[in-house]
Structure formats: structure tokens, C-alpha cells
């Protein structure tokens, strides 16, 4: 039977937040602890982060450490998964170069995630080629490790589609060499958590995040600044649930057990919503509930994070880099053999 190999990763552009947590990190922990997978690679994609942050190398460099700390704090275990840094694996760049032949400019420009990102950023002087090509480099990331399973948030589906196209095209031209991967999406309904302000996505650049490193006080302040229903002015007013970020978050994070512990007078979330809709339930009550839940989830992570040193992180990554590089170089050898680029090796 084929082994089950996972590869996934994040761009280091800041600390990770609860959007990452529900969108992908929780899923990774479950994968790691399920025992269902043979090998798990988790990559800090610093080279990819530079494609739209090439003028901020310090930020990307610092964020490598921050993200690795977040990984260890949420419970990713170096004994069970290989955490490594993209730029330490030069084989990925070489693979990217060969894959570039297999993708057209038109195809790259059609990628919906890239399109959305382009609309958000303003590359003043024009579109850098490196940014447009990152989906090709992502294909190198995935195929170099012969990953057949890629746990990601839904915004990464276009990258998986692009990867599959390159794999098929490569195998058709050069013979069966690369493995076609599938995405593994998170199970919970809310895969893309909106920001505190209700804007499309929780994102550092929009300043609407709760970080895994936030203290209980910070979490509380942020929750109390959240967008609810602007027409719900007095406690007695009838309130709206749709578009009310506090309820959007409660839908994602509030379990039956949380409700029992923090607001036992309601038997389920529906009861709470109905009360809010009828009127008589104030924003303070629902915000307090959400703050308590988020503190309950995040404080064990932020506490553990404080105990992790930079040396410890560097040590984990160095060991990971060695293992990852070994695997990527084996794949590169196969690729060069298939492409008849190995005439000087015997």
C-alpha cells in the first residue's frame, strides 16, 4: 500500500491567529494525533512569503520564529512531524524552474486566490513575476515531498488544482514520476473565519485578528470591540444574528460544554440566539460569553508559547531541515532522471 504523506505550511508574515487555528491548525493536530499518516511535513514558507514581502526581509525572518513557536504551542510535536523552513531546501527552487515550462501565463492569471490577493495588495509599479508564480512553487513544495494529502483552508484549493494540473502534465510528458495530491479540508462549518470587524477574512494587514499569543486581557478588549448589530442599541431592542460577528464566532467556537460552564441558563446556542432576536439580551452578555470561550481555548496555547525559547525553535527547525532536504533531493533526482537531465550521474 502507498504510504500516506502529508505536506502543508504557512507563510510567515506575522504570528498565527485564531483564523489559522480553525482554518487549518486544529486539523493538523488531529492529523498528527490520529496515527493515520505515515509522514507529516509542516513547512514555514518563507520564500513564498517574500513573493509579496520582498521589501521586508526582517519581518519574514522574525515571523519564521513566531510561526514555529505557534506550532509548538498548539501541540505540533517534532517527534511526530517534521517542521522545516522552505528556503533551506534549494531543491524546491530547482523543481519550480522545471515546472514553469508546464504552466501558461494565462493560467496563472486565472487563479482565483491570486486574483483576490492582487486586488488587496497594490503592487504599484506592476505585477512581480515571483508573486504570480508562487502557485508553481507551491506545486514544487507538495510534489518534492511526494505528499498525497495536503491539509489546507479552502482558499488554498486553487493551488491544489494547479498542482494537480502540473503533475498530470509532467507525468504525461516525462513519464509517471510525480504524485497527484488531494486537499484535506477542515471539518467544521466555518473554514474561513471573518475578521473582528466582519471584513472578509481575519488578516494581519487588516488589523482584525485575535492571535494565539494574545493575553486574556487583549482577547477581552478585542471581543468587546467586535461588530454586532448596529441597530441593537438598548438591551430591550430586538437584535439581528446575521452579520453579527459575535454570533458568527459563537457558531464556530461555542460548544455545549462551554455554554453549560459559562451561561447555564441557556440549553443551547439556538436559545441564546432566539433571546437576542426577541430582545432583552444585551451585547455585554454575549461578548462576555465569547471572551470566556476564546480565553479558555487560547490561554493554554499562549501560556505554553511563553515557555518556548528561540534556541529551542531553531533546534527543531534545523533537525527538520535535514530530514526535509533528504526527501526533496530524492524527488529531484527522479525528476531530473525523467527529464533526461542526469547524464552526468551514474
Please report, as ranges, the residues that interact with ligand TRP according to CB under 6 A: 7-11, 45, 48, 138, 141-142, 150, 152, 156
Q: How far is the CB of 279 from ligand TRP (least distance, A)?
A: 42
Judged by beta carbon, residue 47 or residue 294, the one nearer ligand TRP is 47
- The closest alpha carbon to 325, from 79, 18, 89, belongs to 89
Residue 275's Cα: distance from chain center in Å? 35
- Cβ proximity to ligand TRP, 131 vs 249, nearer residue: 131
CB of residue 45 to ligand TRP, shortest distance in Å? 4
d(CA 341, CA 346) in angstroms, rounded, equals 12
Task: Tell how many helices (H) and how many strands (E) occur in the chain.
Answer: 16, 5
Judged by CB, which is closer to ligand TRP: 63, or 138?
138
Q: Which is nearer to ligand TRP, 48 or 228 (CB)?
A: 48
Helices 91-99 and 134-144, packing angle to 10 deg: 120
Read off the DSSP letter of residue 211: B
Q: In sequence order, which residues have a C-beta less than 8 Å from that of residue 317 and are 6 or more positions away?
A: 44, 64, 68, 83, 84, 85
Q: 8 or 53: whose CB is closer to ligand TRP? A: 8
Phi (first) and psi of residue 84, to 5 degrees = -150, 175
**Cβ atoms within 10 Å, residue 251:** 14
Position of minimal CB gap to ligand TRP: 45
What contacts 334, CB < 8 A, 6 or more positions away?
Answer: 177
Shortest CB 114 distance to ligand TRP, Å: 10
Smallest gap, in angstroms, from Cβ of residue 84 to ligand TRP?
Answer: 12
Minimal distance, residue 149 CB to ligand TRP, in Å: 10
Amino acid at each position: 500500500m502507498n504510504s500516506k504523506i502529508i505536506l502543508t505550511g504557512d507563510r510567515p508574515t506575522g504570528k498565527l491567529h485564531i483564523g489559522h487555528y480553525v482554518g487549518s491548525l486544529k486539523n493538523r493536530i488531529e492529523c498528527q494525533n490520529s496515527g493515520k499518516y505515515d509522514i507529516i511535513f509542516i513547512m514555514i514558507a518563507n520564500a513564498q512569503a517574500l513573493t509579496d514581502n520582498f521589501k521586508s526581509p526582517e519581518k519574514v525572518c522574525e515571523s519564521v520564529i513566531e510561526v514555529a513557536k505557534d506550532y509548538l504551542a498548539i501541540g505540533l510535536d517534532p517527534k511526530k512531524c517534521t517542521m522545516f523552513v522552505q528556503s533551506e531546501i534549494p531543491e524546491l527552487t530547482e523543481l519550480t524552474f522545471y515546472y514553469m515550462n508546464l504552466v501558461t501565463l494565462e493560467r496563472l492569471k486565472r487563479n482565483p486566490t491570486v486574483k483576490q490577493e492582487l486586488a488587496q495588495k497594490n503592487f504599484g509599479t506592476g505585477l512581480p513575476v515571483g508573486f504570480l508564480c508562487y502557485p508553481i512553487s507551491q506545486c514544487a513544495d507538495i510534489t518534492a515531498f511526494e505528499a498525497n494529502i495536503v491539509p489546507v483552508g479552502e482558499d488554498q484549493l486553487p493551488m491544489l488544482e494547479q498542482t494537480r494540473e502540473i503533475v498530470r502534465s509532467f507525468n504525461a510528458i516525462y513519464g509517471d514520476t510525480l504524485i497527484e495530491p488531494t486537499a484535506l479540508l477542515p471539518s467544521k462549518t466555518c473554514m474561513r473565519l471573518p475578521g473582528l470587524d466582519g471584513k472578509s477574512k481575519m488578516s494581519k494587514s487588516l488589523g482584525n485578528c485575535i492571535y494565539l499569543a494574545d493575553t486574556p486581557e487583549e482577547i477581552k478588549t478585542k471581543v468587546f470591540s467586535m461588530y454586532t448589530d448596529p441597530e441593537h442599541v438598548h438591551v430591550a431592542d430586538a437584535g439581528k444574528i446575521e452579520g453579527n460577528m459575535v454570533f458568527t464566532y459563537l457558531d464556530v467556537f461555542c460548544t455545549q460544554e462551554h455554554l453549560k460552564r459559562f451561561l447555564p441558563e441557556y440549553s443551547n446556542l439556538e436559545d441564546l440566539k432566539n433571546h437576542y432576536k426577541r430582545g432583552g439580551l444585551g451585547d455585554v452578555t454575549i461578548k462576555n460569553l465569547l471572551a470566556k470561550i476564546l480565553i479558555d481555548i487560547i490561554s493554554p496555547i499562549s501560556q505554553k508559547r511563553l515557555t518556548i525559547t528561540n534556541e529551542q525553535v531553531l533546534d527543531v527547525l534545523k533537525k527538520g531541515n535535514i530530514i526535509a532536504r533528504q526527501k526533496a533531493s530524492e524527488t529531484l533526482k527522479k525528476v531530473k532522471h525523467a527529464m533526461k537531465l542526469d547524464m552526468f550521474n551514474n
